[in-house]
Amino acid sequence: MPDRPEPSPESGGDSLNDLFRSLPDPKQPEKPASANEGPTPGSRRAARAAAAREAKDQAARVAQGLPPETAPAAAGDGGLRATETRATSAAETADTATQAAPVVVTAEPRATLDDLFAQEEETTKPAKPQRRAGCLIALIIVLALVGGAVAGGVWVMNTYGDKINEVMGWGPPKDYEPGEATGEALVTISEGDSGADVSVALYRAGVTKTEDVFYDTLVDQGTSLTFFPGVYKFQQKMTAEAVIEAMQSGENKMENSALIREGLTVEATLQTIAESLAVPLDQLQAAAADPASFGVNAPSLEGWLFPALYEFAPESSAHDILAKLVERTRESLAAAGVPAGDEQRVLTIASIIEREARAQDDFYKVSRVIQNRLDQDMMLQMDSTAQYGYGELHKGSASTSEEAQHDDNPWNTYVVQGLPATPIANPGDLAIDAAMHPVAGPWLYFVTVNLDTGETVFTQTYEEHQAAIDKWRQWCTENPDSGC
């Protein structure tokens, strides 16, 4: 292989100098075209300029008496004229001696709508992102305003819907129509009840359609009524005006009568009798303090004052009144087939059923749960017993407070084994019969999952019971004002 040549003296042995000397000169940046310079070849501007020159040439030919020069369109060019090369004539050569080469005319496509929009797009392209952003912001503002209006409307209707409906006359009617009245309803008016209290009592008894229609009608009419304590007999589905007329006549008030409702305690029962019959409460309390005087072998008359509508002779004493209620309890016990000596136990179970059950069928199922638990030596753990022992049975809540559930008293079946010390309320015929005749079933648990409808779920396992409790809690969350 030949030897490598030595570097020449001129290079000084530096091959990099030779390399850079062999590179081309750097290209100078092109100056921007001035207004006087021609258009860039191949651009639209060049095409328009060529077309203008062609038109000028054609006009010159016509002026010289020569026919205009034409170029046929190339096949398939979609309406474009073919590019043509026009040779100059002898006469033109004489006139345009300075033109060393023929004029090349490039055909330009006919203007279309697409070209128009293309030009518009090129013109406005830098501003387009801003316009889109502006439209988006405007859309967001509009949606926010609309959404705010809708949300505001929802809030207003949720907050003031009842008042708006009342003023505007929207929504269902608040009163029954004349001619709808039917059946019978009993309403107890207590000492000190106001018109608003009576209005609610009428609604709950099924007499009027809404809670406040009776009171509102009183106010609208300017009617003044005196509400005497006692039991009043009405029909169901009456108009508010018809109720007012009946109360003004006084014919619907039952003299010397008292309506005792199921599930009341002795204390609440004595209060109702005192208000309905105008009998001093202390006289009733003194009579009830001696159960033996009524032939009751129990520490109190709890559970023995039967719930029903009573009428008494005007001269009846406190003892006579209570004796009539106790006698009615004995009749119910006998009808249910309760053996002699077992009355207190049956009344205790029946009182729990009365406070716990909702629908008629539930009475017999609750009775079965109680019996199954007693048979298996399970604690009853009934909320009603804990509430009674803590003094909150009539507080209007289905839930037991933490304090009541853990309070150590002889009625709290979360603490004591077996039945509570005494009945916890006055049971009616249905509860007493259910205590004696529980329906067959394996249930050990139950919970009312809808306090409005009374829907109750009966289960056999603790896991099923917990699932039912979750359902009840969900309902209470959605209905916080329904007595949970």
Instruction: Determine the Cα–Cα distance for residues 229 and 225; give it in Å rounded to an integer.
Output: 13
Instruction: Determine the Cα–Cα distance for residues 477 and 392; give it in Å rounded to an integer.
Output: 22
Whether the CB-CB separation of 400 and 484 falls below 8 Å is answered with: no
Residue 309: name the closest of 357, 268, 356, 272 by CA: 272
Cα separation values, 330 from 304, 305, 335, Å: 8, 10, 9
Alpha-carbon dihedral 455, 459, 465, 467, rounded to 10 degrees: -70
pLDDT of residue 38: 53
pLDDT of residue 35: 45
Give the single-character DSSP code of 181: -
Run of H or E including 143? helix 128-168
pLDDT of residue 50: 66
pLDDT of residue 25: 53
pLDDT of residue 479: 87
pLDDT of residue 92: 44
Instruction: Determine the Cα–Cα distance for residues 334 and 310; give it in Å rounded to an integer.
Output: 20
Is residue 276 classed as helix, strand or coil in its secondary structure?
helix
Whether the CB-CB separation of 483 and 397 falls below 8 Å is answered with: yes
Kindly give the confidence (pLDDT) of every residue in the chain, 484 residues in length, as a single tens digit, with 9 standing for 90 and above. Answer: 444 444 443 444 444 445 445 555 554 444 444 444 555 555 555 556 666 676 667 666 656 666 555 544 443 444 333 333 333 444 444 444 444 444 444 444 455 545 544 554 555 545 545 555 666 676 677 666 666 666 666 666 666 665 566 556 566 889 999 999 999 999 988 878 899 999 999 999 999 999 999 999 999 998 888 888 888 999 999 999 999 999 998 889 888 899 999 999 999 999 999 988 889 999 999 999 999 999 999 999 999 999 999 999 888 999 999 999 999 999 999 999 999 999 999 999 999 999 999 988 899 999 999 999 999 999 999 999 999 999 988 876 777 888 999 999 999 999 999 999 999 999 999 999 999 999 999 999 999 999 888 899 999 999 999 999 999 999 999 988 877 7
Instruction: Determine the Cα–Cα distance for residues 421 and 132; give it in Å rounded to an integer.
Output: 80
Q: How many CB atoms lie within 10 A of CB 142?
A: 10
Instruction: Determine the Cα–Cα distance for residues 333 and 322; give it in Å rounded to an integer.
Output: 17
CA 108 distance to own-chain centroid: 68
pLDDT of residue 52: 65
Would you state the structure tokens that stand for residue 139, as one six-digit string?
């859309």
Would you state the structure tokens that stand for residue 336, as one six-digit string?
């249910």
Instruction: Determine the Cα–Cα distance for residues 214 and 199; give it in Å rounded to an integer.
Output: 5
Angle at 411 between CA 344 and CA 481, to 5 degrees: 115
Where do the H-state alpha helices sit in 312-458?
Answer: 318-335, 343-356, 360-375, 383-390, 402-406, 429-436
Strand partners, 187: 232
pLDDT of residue 153: 65
pLDDT of residue 222: 87
pLDDT of residue 81: 36
- The contacts found for 373-377 with CB under 8 angstroms, 24 or more apart, are 373/444, 374/418, 374/419, 376/444, 377/417
pLDDT of residue 10: 41
pLDDT of residue 99: 42
